[in-house]
Structure 1
Amino acid sequence: MTAIPTIDLVDALATEYADKSPSEILELALSQEGEIAISFSGAEDVVLIDMAHNLGKPFRVFSLDTGRLHPETYQFIDTVRKHYGIKIEICFPESDAVQQLVNEKGLFSFYQDDHKECCGIRKVQPLRKKLATLDGWITGQRKDQSPGTRTAIPVIQADAGFSGEGKQLIKYNPLANWSSADVWNYIRMMEIPYNPLHEKGFISIGCEPCTRPVLPNQHEREGRWWWEEATHKECGLHAGNLQK
């Protein structure tokens, strides 16, 4: 096991591993001391789970259940759990916060006053609570996922959004340099599970009320929060580390 990288070492590692394969970056992450886990929700994350499984190293996986996911997504989570024989740590929002939001503003307030408040309660707060127990996390972020926000994602970074006082959280993005085509070539080649919604035109899949299929030649993030500005399609999970 390698020691948890300091901030100076993180930058050096990001440079050293900038052109290395996702598997090599993932192996480095899983060799770090402390508690490390893969954040799982979509196709990219299953690729990471498959790679971790093939590396033969112990690994943890967690997933956020917002309470508003598609039925197919819940089935997909369980399919992945069974396929790899792993435990998936499910993180839930605080019921009191959800109840207050729904009672005050209804079930679809995000269509009027944007998605950030709902995402904050259902996604960001549960993630923050989970990451407080970890020393590092592994994500499926790619540079080409969102126009204007993710184009400068490094393969390794100090997590400015979720590090706490006296604790440095390290974020690994092994697929940062991959395209959507790279992800799907891997999925097909390795014959690994994927969300059946992808067969219905969904590319980037989030909560059911906030996700829809995209048309040919539309960017994948256009299916998320389609009523909002196209260059700000972020729920807050990665906002603390993204370029403005």
Structure 2
Amino acid sequence: MTTRGAEAARRWLAERGVRAEGEGWTSDGEPGRRLTANEVAHSWAGEVFTDGGLDVPGRVRLAFGLLDLLGEYWVTCEIRMADRGATGPLPADALWDGYRRRLEAEEDAEALTYSLWADWFEDRATVAAAFHEVLGGDIDRVVNEPTDALLRRARRVLKCTGPVPWPVKEAAYGSAVRLPALHPALFRGLLAGYHDVYGELEPSAALTLLTRLDLPADTEHLAELRQVLTEGHRNHHLSPPAWDDAIRARA
């Protein structure tokens, strides 16, 4: 979380009669009723992008401040809708810097990673640009000059790359495999690429990467993934019996 962004969002809400109280929220417009953070997000996150007192980058920063404050996935939905809507796109530097900074932070980033997976990465119109911005464009820097913050971002992104098309992520995977600290996250990305409804793997290339990962031999589903890739399967949903056969082979 960026404290400054959260405090700016808190002031912005207070100016509109919405205030934190205990573990919930209150609104001057609904006296006597306790609101959840999710209700506040649904009511107010979209309003950020109509605030005439802010320029567009300022609206983006305020929206991320609301995300810091509320921790609700819906805020990311409003950010995406503003980017993809009639008044978009949002300034790319403000948008993706907001994602990168929070993916690098120590605080929980579940709302952001779910947003990447379910929204930006599953959409073929946005996946290439989104993946490039949050990892693909600087994976070599992560590998060559790793810091705790960069490793946090790389791990979080790799784990949710299941829906990213293989040609989009192949080069980044090839760089990530050079750094053992990223191997568990890269494995999760490969596994998700096999199981996700929108997942995409190239079996031979994915198997080559898999054999280079330094993982414990008893890593859950490592043997099964190796078997289905060896047999040339691209995705669980294209050949459902293959995974069950791999599990039985381990029994």
TM-score (norm 1): 0.28
Structure holding more strand per residue: 1
TM-score (norm 2): 0.27
The structure that has the greater radius of gyration is 2
